[in-house]
Structure 1
Amino acid sequence: MTSSDRLLDLIQTTPEIDLLLRSSFGFDIHRMHCGEGLRLASGAPLEAIAGEVTGGAYFLCAEQNGRRPVVFASSEGEGGLLADDLASALEIIIGLEWRDCLSFSGGGDVKVMQISAQHLQRSRDKYNPDIDNEAAQVAAALSLHMAPVADLVMRLHAAAAKTEPDYIVTDDDGQAFDPPFGEHVEPRLGGWR
């Protein structure tokens, strides 16, 4: 049993952690049907492990050096490497508004991502004052490390930057998904508030 298998089994057998991951962090192990037919551009298969409410999906890649990298593919046709293993991916998922951080990355500029992450964290805390406690509860139950936001941004940037060429997601027709880095530096309407 791999470390990914152990983590997924622990999530499945711990209902309160499963619920927190699903409701607060958009990682739903019961949405395995999301992203059917997707694979890597190399032809390597992807194993769906979770989905999220907007139709995106999380996948495990084939094992490399004892780890199974995690790829995310959105329903809007963006995809790429999230982390080198499931534990690292979950740390990013619970500790960072990672999808918006990538969207507002100025094309992959880590400094822009750091600024975006700070704005996104303030918004996240405002709309869910218990989010830090929920993240800590998930981390404790799954033996994850609670890293500072700045460190998570660096890890996310490093992983997403390795998407090409080995982690490009494609659909049934071989159409490649867009890279994970968005071009925006802040929201179009009103900027960061």
Structure 2
Amino acid sequence: MRDSGDLLRRINEGRELAALLADGFEFNVRRKSGDESARLASGLPLERISGDFTGGMFYLCGTEGTVRPVLYASSEGDSGVIATDLNEALALVVGLPYWRDCLKYSAGGDLAAMESATDFLCRDLLANRPTVAAEQSRVAEALGLAVEPPLVLTTRLHAAVKSAGADFYFSDDTGEYGGLFGKFSPSRNQSWR
């Protein structure tokens, strides 16, 4: 497992890799501007590491030399820990590009609902982006990551979001953010019936 500094250096130094992560997997290390008032309830430091095209932001929590969970804060006022470290977060965004939709269709945090959504989302991803497997392999190889099966990533994501606890409640000048689990079940999506 690489440390977060090494992974971020590799991404920043590899223009093609950074572009593929930004365009294909919505992890843009060039998009780090954000609200300086961002904070955690615990007072742990936050380091902005990346943004997505919707205005969401990825943060490393804690100080260097410690295990640093990755927190995602959306532009819509939702936040939560998505991975125990940057390796796991990158495996998630690369291996399951629709991870946000897995949370959206989680029926309030139900793992079975997330697994069902994952099946539909993977089908849709392959139909809409037939080159995704090759792109995933290129990024994984460049970063020394394993491409995990989608359901493994879904289970890991569920555990990370569910177990983070009150220390990781995120807020900024707009107020305290809500959690990442969405209220919809997969049956809400008409095209998945």
TM over 0.5: yes
Partner of 2:84: 84
Q: Write the distance in 1 (CA, Å) between the matches of 2:85 and 2:129.
A: 27
> After superposition, what is the alpha-carbon deviation per residue over 1:157-182, rounded to whole angstroms, capped at 9, x for unaligned?
00000232121111125x22111100
Q: Write the distance in 2 (CA, Å) between the matches of 1:55 and 1:150.
A: 27
Could you say what secondary structure the match of 2:77 adopts? coil
Could you say what secondary structure the match of 2:72 adopts? strand
Alignment of 1:3-42 (within 5 A): 3-42=3-42
Decide whether aligned partners of structure 1 residues 100 and 156 sit closer, same or farther in structure 2, where only a CA change above 3 A counts: same
Q: Is the 8 A contact 1:22 1:28 kept in 2?
A: yes
Letter in 2 for 1:112: A
The alignment-based identity, stated in percent, is 40
Partner of 1:70: 70
Decide whether aligned partners of structure 1 residues 11 and 144 sit closer, same or farther in structure 2, where only a CA change above 3 A counts: same
Q: Which has the higher helix share?
A: 2
Q: Write the distance in 1 (CA, Å) between the matches of 2:34 and 2:105.
A: 24
Partner of 1:99: 100
Partner of 1:119: 120
Q: Which runs of 5+ in 2 are unaligned?
A: none
Q: Write the distance in 1 (CA, Å) between the matches of 2:157 and 2:64.
A: 19
Decide whether aligned partners of structure 1 residues 185 and 166 sit closer, same or farther in structure 2, where only a CA change above 3 A counts: same
Could you say what secondary structure the match of 1:29 adopts? coil
Q: Is the 8 A contact 1:91 1:147 kept in 2?
A: yes
Letter in 2 for 1:172: D
Moved more, 183-192 or 45-54: 183-192
In the TM superposition, what is the alpha-carbon distance from 1:16 to its structure 2 partner?
A: 1.3
Letter in 2 for 1:84: T
Q: Write the distance in 2 (CA, Å) between the matches of 1:147 and 1:63.
A: 27
Q: Is the 8 A contact 1:63 1:69 kept in 2?
A: no
Letter in 2 for 1:106: A
TM-score between the two structures when normalised by the length of structure 2 = 0.93
In the TM superposition, what is the alpha-carbon distance from 1:188 to its structure 2 partner?
A: 3.9
> After superposition, what is the alpha-carbon deviation per residue over 1:93-119, rounded to whole angstroms, capped at 9, x for unaligned?
011111000010011100100000110
Q: Which runs of 5+ in 1 are unaligned?
A: none
In the TM superposition, what is the alpha-carbon distance from 1:34 to its structure 2 partner?
A: 3.2
In the TM superposition, what is the alpha-carbon distance from 1:145 to its structure 2 partner?
A: 1.2
Letter in 1 for 2:101: D
TM-score between the two structures when normalised by the length of structure 1 = 0.93
Q: What is the number of residues matched between the two proteins?
A: 191
Decide whether aligned partners of structure 1 residues 131 and 36 sit closer, same or farther in structure 2, where only a CA change above 3 A counts: farther
Q: Is the 8 A contact 1:103 1:181 kept in 2?
A: yes
Could you say what secondary structure the match of 1:8 adopts? helix
Q: Write the distance in 2 (CA, Å) between the matches of 1:186 and 1:64.
A: 39
Q: Is the 8 A contact 2:103 2:182 kept in 1?
A: yes
